């Protein structure tokens, strides 16, 4: 049966004016409109943008790399006009250090989340599509891998590969980090493939590959996007933790975690040395969490009021 086979009785076809009266609203536009209304999420997005700009532009403003040089006559200075965040125990400008550390921290957060999301999405997606025994085996593997406490895995891998660079650290953090994402993606795909419109598509004899490309993947994207936003702060926190226990970023490179760790011992005398990097971590994690909340509300039409 084709559309032409139906005879429409009564009612005239919609006039051109009627058709134009309501503009078709795409899913993305609809989500964007909902996101815009969420003031907290928008504020978080703007805050993130500002932070990113700051860590990129900051070192250029502060006469880097001269500000990075140790200066014995300007040790542990309090914040002042010349050194906005003061100086550290080697006389380096803390503003520059915090910006450089922020670059590393945010980069680790983004890279870690990207790796985890790509791996997890493929794994979960493939498991959902294969189904049956393969799916069972794949998900049991995930169950076993995620039965190991996350921090222990990160610590252990860092010890074994003796992580000294950012790359090895990201590796340690992502080894089992993709498991939750694989679960989320798989369950979302399974949920969609059981919905009525997929059944309709199957009954219409649409090629499976087309169903996957047109329906399953686009409808999983929103879940993946939200998961990404929530994973980034997790990686920033793990980096801070690793650097804090001395397994993370090594000097002369730095990160917010490493800066906070270095400031810890002298904290009672020079509290600002800890407060600035710690504030960076807290603000970034807060902003990403709020952004994730906003995205989840915007992308899930079921939550619409």
Contact at 8 Å (CB) between 159 and 248? no
Q: Would you count residue 244 as binding another protein (CB under 8 A)?
A: yes
Which listed range, 3-11, 61-69, 159-167, 194-202, lies at the site for another protein (CB under 8 A)? 159-167
Q: Would you count residue 289 as binding another protein (CB under 8 A)?
A: yes
Q: Would you count residue 165 as binding another protein (CB under 8 A)?
A: no
Least distance CB 75 / another protein (angstroms): 20
Backbone angles phi, psi at 64, to 5 degrees: -75, 140
Least distance CB 57 / another protein (angstroms): 25
Least distance CB 274 / another protein (angstroms): 5
Tokens describing residue 106: 């945010």
**Residue among 98, 166, 179, 274 that touches another protein (CB under 8 A):** 274
Q: Would you count residue 51 as binding another protein (CB under 8 A)?
A: no
Contact at 8 Å (CB) between 218 and 203? no
Tally the residues of the chain. Answer: 305
Nearest 10 degrees: CA dihedral of 281, 157, 163, 226?
-30
Residue position matching structure tokens 């978080």: 44
Least distance CB 10 / another protein (angstroms): 41
Which is nearer to another protein, 67 or 260 (by Cβ)? 260
Contacts of 166 (CB under 8 A, 6+ apart): 104, 107, 108, 249, 253
Contacts of 179 (CB under 8 A, 6+ apart): 120, 142, 145, 146
Tokens describing residue 94: 């803390």
Contacts of 69 (CB under 8 A, 6+ apart): 92
Q: Would you count residue 249 as binding another protein (CB under 8 A)?
A: no
Site for another protein in 115-154 (CB under 8 A): 143-144, 147-149, 151-152
Which of helix, strand or coil describes residue 93? strand
Which is nearer to another protein, 130 or 160 (by Cβ)? 160
Q: Would you count residue 208 as binding another protein (CB under 8 A)?
A: no
As a whole number of Å, the end-to-end CA separation of the chain is: 38
**Residue among 29, 271, 301, 303 that touches another protein (CB under 8 A):** 271
Which is nearer to another protein, 67 or 262 (by Cβ)? 262
Q: Would you count residue 9 as binding another protein (CB under 8 A)?
A: no
Backbone angles phi, psi at 93, to 5 degrees: -65, 120
Tokens describing residue 115: 């790796």
Which is nearer to another protein, 6 or 269 (by Cβ)? 269
Binding mask 31-50 for another protein (x = CB under 8 A): --------------------
Where along the sequence are the contacts to another protein (CB under 8 A)? 143-144, 147-149, 151-152, 155-157, 159-160, 162, 233, 237, 240-241, 244-247, 260, 264, 267-268, 271, 274, 278, 281-282, 285-286, 289-290
């Amino acid at each position: 049966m084709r559309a032409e086979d139906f005879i429409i009785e009564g009612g005239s076809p919609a006039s051109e004016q009627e058709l134009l009266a309501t503009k078709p609203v795409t899913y993305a536009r609809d989500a964007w409109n909902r996101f815009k209304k969420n003031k907290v999420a928008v504020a978080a997005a703007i805050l993130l943008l500002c932070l990113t700009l700051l860590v990129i532009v900051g070192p250029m403003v502060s006469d880097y790399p001269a500000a990075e040089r140790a200066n014995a006559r300007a040790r542990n200075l309090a914040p002042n006009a010349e050194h906005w965040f003061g100086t550290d125990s080697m006389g380096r400008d803390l503003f520059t250090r915090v910006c450089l550390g922020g670059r590393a921290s945010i980069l680790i957060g983004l890279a870690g989340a990207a790796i985890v999301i790509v791996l997890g999405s493929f794994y979960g997606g493939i498991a959902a599509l294969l189904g049956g025994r393969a799916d069972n085996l794949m998900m049991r593997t995930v169950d076993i891998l995620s039965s190991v406490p996350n921090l222990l895995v990160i610590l252990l891998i860092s010890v074994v590969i003796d992580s000294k660079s950012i790359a090895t650290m990201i590796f340690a953090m992502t080894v089992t980090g993709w498991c939750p994402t694989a679960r989320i993606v798989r369950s979302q795909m399974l949920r969609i493939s059981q919905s009525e419109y997929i059944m309709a598509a199957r009954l219409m004899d649409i090629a499976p590959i087309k169903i996957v490309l047109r329906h399953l993947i686009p409808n999983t994207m929103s879940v993946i996007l939200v998961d990404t936003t929530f994973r980034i702060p997790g990686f920033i926190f793990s980096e801070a933790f690793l650097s804090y226990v001395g397994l993370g970023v090594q000097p002369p490179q730095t990160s917010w975690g490493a800066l906070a760790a270095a400031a810890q011992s002298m904290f009672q005398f020079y509290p600002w040395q800890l407060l600035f990097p710690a504030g960076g971590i807290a603000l970034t994690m807060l902003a990403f969490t709020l952004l994730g909340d906003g995205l989840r509300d915007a992308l899930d039409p079921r939550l619409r009021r």
